[in-house]
Amino acid sequence: MRSFLLVLLLLVLLALQSPIFGLLGVRASLIDFPLIATLYFASTSRAVRGFVASSIIGFIADGFTPGGLLGMNAEIHGIVFLLALGLSARFSLTRPAPLLLVTAVSSVLKTLLFYLFSLVFDRAFEPRIEVLLWGLPTCLATAVLAPLLFLPFAGVDRIVAGRRTNESLLR
């Protein structure tokens, strides 16, 4: 139930992001909500459940990526989840400084993997350096705002945890 609600929150955030940023005149994909959700699962979930949820998040990101290959983001989010899972064992991702660092590294890795996978698997892809440079504002914005972007996901966790406590009291 928890994973379903967190993925549902991600869908709502992605659906709201495009119109709101369009009104502000900002590029619609400036903040990488799927990456934040993957990092949140890595810091709060067990390995198998978090990996499956991160792969689902990747498929959702594929749906919001025009012109991308289906499944490429799912692979990337699986790799990023495994990396973040290892880092979350060493650093507490609930603290701002480690979260900023891990988000920055994960965002750059995600951009590089997207470029590499597009180069290898997408025949229509034109390898240009501008594609990599286009991802830098997204990397920076996502890393800087990561502590704030974790808050809605933590809120859903608090609601689910409170609900479990109330259900156990009724028994």
pLDDT tens-place string over residues 32-69: 999 999 999 999 999 999 999 999 999 999 888 777 78
Pick the residue with more confidence: 76 or 126? 76
Region of poorest pLDDT, from 101-105, 144-148, 152-156, 160-164: 160-164
Exposure string (b/e) for 57-76, b if CB count within 10 Å is 16 or more?
bbebbbebbeebeeebbbbb
Q: In terms of DSSP H, where are the helices of 30-95?
A: 33-44, 47-63, 72-90
Domains of the chain listed by start with CATH number: 2-158 (1.10.1760)
Compute the distance between CA of residue 88 and CA of residue 98 in angstroms, rounded to an integer.
9
Exposure string (b/e) for 95-129, b if CB count within 10 Å is 16 or more?
eeebbbebbbbbbbbbbebbbebbeeeeeebeeee
C-alpha neighbours within 13 Å on the C-beta side of residue 29 = 14
| pTM value surpassing 0.85 | yes
